[in-house]
Amino acid sequence: MSMEGGCTCRNVRYRLTGGPLIVHACHCTWCQRETGTVHAVNAMYEAERVEHLAAEPEIIDTPSASGKGQKIARCPICKVAVWSNYPGSGPAVRFVRVGTMDDPSQCPPDVHIFTSTKQPWVTLPPSAKVFAEFYGIDEVWSDEAKERRRIMREKAGKK
């Protein structure tokens, strides 16, 4: 499984290796503002699985709900955001903006988070995994994703 995507002007193009660790639909008010819509859809990938095929994105320090800030990778020309890093998982994990993929239907959300601030007119399917705030990784991530996370943390020297 290999997917490609990029910004609107095609200056930044990326290729993703394999499937995502997990796909979040985040309904927090910060994601609503940053995307200009009702929720973000982010596919989490190990950084080395996100390969840039053309220009390198520019990394913009952006305020975040945690107060610790996030780094958003944007095309230097059209400024469209293609992925971001959050302080919790650091530079090792890229949150790829699913809407920038050539075929976003490959990455439907596995989980909806921060639905306490979901817009009231957004209706989620009854089968959706929904969390008012955040969740515990052990309960939600697949065994394969947990194993990939373990390897990532081992590389980073974390237990």
60 in contact with Zn ion (CB under 5 A): no
Least distance in angstroms from the C-beta of 4 to Zn ion: 15
Binding flag, residue 9, Zn ion (CB under 5 A): yes
CB of 55 vs Zn ion, minimal distance in Å: 8
Nearest residue to 30 (alpha-carbon basis) of 61, 80, 66:
66
Q: How far is CA 22 from CA 26, 42, 71, 80, 92, in A?
A: 12, 8, 19, 22, 15
Interface with Zn ion, residue 82, by CB under 5 A: no
**Which one, 64 or 100, has the nearer CB to Zn ion?**
100
11 binds Zn ion (CB under 5 A): yes
How far from chain centre, in Å, is Cα 107? 11
Distance CA 47, CA 79 (A): 20
Report the alpha-carbon distance of residue 121 to residue 51 in Å, rounded.
Answer: 37
User: Which position among 7, 72, 113, 152 is part of the footprint of Zn ion (CB under 5 A)?
Assistant: 7
Contacting residue, 53, 54, 78, 132, with Zn ion by CB under 5 A = 78
Q: Is 72 in the site for Zn ion (CB under 5 A)?
A: no
153 Cβ partners below 8 Å, 6+ apart? 159
The token pair that represents 73 in the structure block: 């990778």
Of the two residues 60 and 151, which places its CB atom closer to Zn ion in the complex? 60
Size of site (CB under 5 A) for Zn ion: 6
Q: Are 27 and 114 in contact (CB under 8 A)?
A: yes
If one asks whether residue 137 binds Zn ion (CB under 5 A), the answer comes out as no
- Residues lying near Zn ion in the complex (CB under 5 A): 7, 9, 11, 75, 77-78
